[in-house]
Amino acid sequence: MTPISHHIPDDLLRAYATGNLPHAFSVVVAAHVSICDACRAQVEAEEMLGGALLDRCGTADLSVSARDRLMAALDSLPPPPAPVRASGIFPAPVMQALDGNPPKWRMLGGGIRQQILSADAEGSLRLLYIPPGRAVPEHGHRGLEMTLVLQGSFSDSAGRFGRGDVECAHDDVDHQPIADAGLPCICLAATDAPLRFHAMMPRLLQPLFRI
């Protein structure tokens, strides 16, 4: 595999390590960290720092009744689900989002496909399949778009992104990713706001495709 050259910014890794990242972006970070040694080491360092800070905090004694309620609540929790393993090009966090199943693609046009994995008020998470040589419609952003390449590669004004690379595009970025020759480009993408498409047809179809 070509070495990963586009990593996740430090502030997003820190937010992930402290549990302060919305679900859609957390899945992208978890998937990237599972295949990127450098970012995984940084997350582990952030977690160790957080643990050290907690160790320095004072402690408070629980009353007997509070302790009993806590233990009863822990006893009533369901057992954790069995861990989901990586499969093919999909890291374990992606397979978990897929409930262990292969993607169920929905056509968007021009051979481009997607599967929405989750969507809530904080953001949406989707898989994208882009045939070689095919371009995503030119667009800008109303927030953050984080895209992790799982197979193949794409290129835009920011450079070339291959497997494991992450592009973080904010509201000051306009671009038109194009899948490179070779394998179809499969990406995991998270957004926290609808995209700003430049052309009329993508704007008309945007509510239907929930992009």
**CB distance 30 to 8 below 8 Å:** no
- Residue 13's pLDDT band, with cuts at 50, 70 and 90, is very high
Distance of CA 205 to the CA centre of its chain: 24
User: pLDDT, tens digit, for every residue of 138-153?
Assistant: 888 899 999 999 999 9
User: pLDDT, tens digit, for every residue of 86-104?
Assistant: 999 999 999 999 999 999 9
d(CA 211, CA 11): 25
| Mean pLDDT in residue range 149-161 | 96
d(CA 142, CA 124): 13
pTM recorded for the entire structure: 0.84
Domain 1-211 class in CATH: mainly beta
Residue labelled with tokens 């898989």:
127
- Statement: residue 80 has pLDDT above 70: no
Q: Is 195 exposed, middle or buried (0-12, 13-18, 19+ CB in 10 A)?
A: buried
Residue 28's identity, in one-letter code, is V
